[in-house]
Structure 1
Amino acid sequence: MKPSEPHEWTEAEWRQRVGLVRAGRPLRPSAWPGGAKCAVALSFDSDHETSELKDGGNSIGRLSWGEYGSRVGVPRILDILRRNSIPSTFFVPAVTALLHPDEQRAVVAEGHEVGLHGWIHEFNTALPPEIERELLFRSSDALERATGVRPVGLRTPSWDVSSATIAAEKELGLLYDSSLMADEDCYEILLDGIPSGLVEIPVEWIRDDAPYFFMNRHSNLRPYTAPADVFDIFRREFELAHAAGGLFQLTMHPHVISYRSRIWILEELISTARSKGDVWFATHADVARWVLDNAEAPPAAVVAAGAPSS
């Protein structure tokens, strides 16, 4: 029988879809560590060669673009973070970790976090739930073997969250997810209306370098935003996060942001944040732990709004 079209769904059907994964209680802390007004969580998705491998591709040129991310991008980023004494989070597909184990050990040795980012940058919504779960658990084991540290957070590849993703994360015992977009500050994820215990550190395409800079000559995908304009967008996002006393989270890719004409964006953002004098730079895991322990008690009406009414 052909599945019904969306306009044919019953109210129960569309409510079930909307209500499966929702934003629960806000996890905005009353204060950040050391009296800081704003938290800055920088992250780097080390997709490397999996950007091509995930689609079954065998383009040597695009594989070399991924290799640039490891050969040039990550060392360049680590140098900037080291000079500024800033911890950050690297989300790493398991295949990337297997291709570049020394890179992951270097990242951890310098005080950064390595988080989950799928097996080969697969799309979760294209997989049966049992395969998605198996890949998540296998990826966690692979990252632990590569780094000596069990990962505590997941950023799904392409931020693609299936109906089974959150339950699998909970089963794995993760602390946080960083793939959803229901807020700008952290919140607890509701699964079928029930608090999951997972912290969401929200992402957004506005705060991601890829939509501005990605390039594929075999498609209509072309860079369309000048680096100065991208910096201005990121800066404005940071300035308002700081003014509100909230979280500024940023997603970057070593094979995208690290070119000579772009890497200054990262350095200038760090300089801008540092100039405030009251910013806490932290890994995503440290942000998740802090907000769990220090979240303000929200009004009951705010919590109730986390799930759709029935």
Structure 2
Amino acid sequence: MRRRDFISLVSGSAVAWPLAARGQKKRGPVIGFIDPGLAQANGSFLVSFLEGMRELGWRDGENMTVLDRWVENQPAQLPGIMAGLLAERVDLLVTGGSLVTNGARAATDSLPIVMVAVGDPVAFGLAQSLARPGGNVTGLSNVSLDLVAKRLQLLVEIAPATKRVAVLADSRDPGTPTYWLQTRDNATRIGLTPQLVEVATADDIDSVFIGLPERADALFVTINPLTVANRTKIATLALANGLPTSCPIRDFVVAGGLQSSGSSLQNDFRRAADFVDRILKGARPADLPIMQPTKFELVINVKTAGAFGLTVPPTMLAIADEVIE
């Protein structure tokens, strides 16, 4: 499926999700694709995965079948989605984020699972080690011990008046406690005062911004399904409340956030295709090392910086992978 084909499907009034119709005739191995968010918001991740599979010779509807399912930021739907995919006798699962991956692992300890964007799979009990997972889960982790410190330092460089930083996180994400401790310790180390601001629904995001400018000078957004799905809302509210924002991925900055440093989720889903290809050709997830990010993109929105009255240091502009004007 070409990107423009996907966009036209999304924009059509008669679209029915998932893309892979439940009654379709299955061809080749059957792959269950589970994303924690909305198809309309996160559809580019599925597109990237399908593009990666095509590059390896796999085409949906021809020599494989992809059944995509969308949790729509409602974790209570996940058990039903998993039960449905197991009833469809899928051969492999591709899961996005720690919440979905944990749910998939709880439902099956034998079906191969290729994860994307899971913070610490060893701490979550998904793998024995990154080098040798040892179970039925492998894929890509977005954990990086250096990235949190780097993001905080970049935030201070672009917004030097920052002393108090609010850390926006999803209270339902199993990775939040670990991420918060890393952020708290790194923020304190460079003289910042961090505070955890937790949300559980999209409506919570609106409410937590009330009075936040009186308690914080800037916003540090953690990466999880809820924040990714509501990236435009977060960027808009941060701008309206005068809070320069450190974002985890490029998509936030495109939506109006100030700057981001992180791996590309689109690229990570494309890389997941390599794991799927190898497993379909006989490899065991237990033997496939979990990959960590190899490249971090620095993206800066100079229009947003101007709205905050900030001047982006020339040295930062020089090393940026992308500058949005």
TM-score if structure 1 supplies the norm length?
Answer: 0.33
User: Larger helix proportion, structure 1 or 2?
Assistant: 1
Structure with the greater relative contact order (CA < 8 A, sep ≥ 6): 1 or 2?
1
TM-score if structure 2 supplies the norm length?
Answer: 0.32
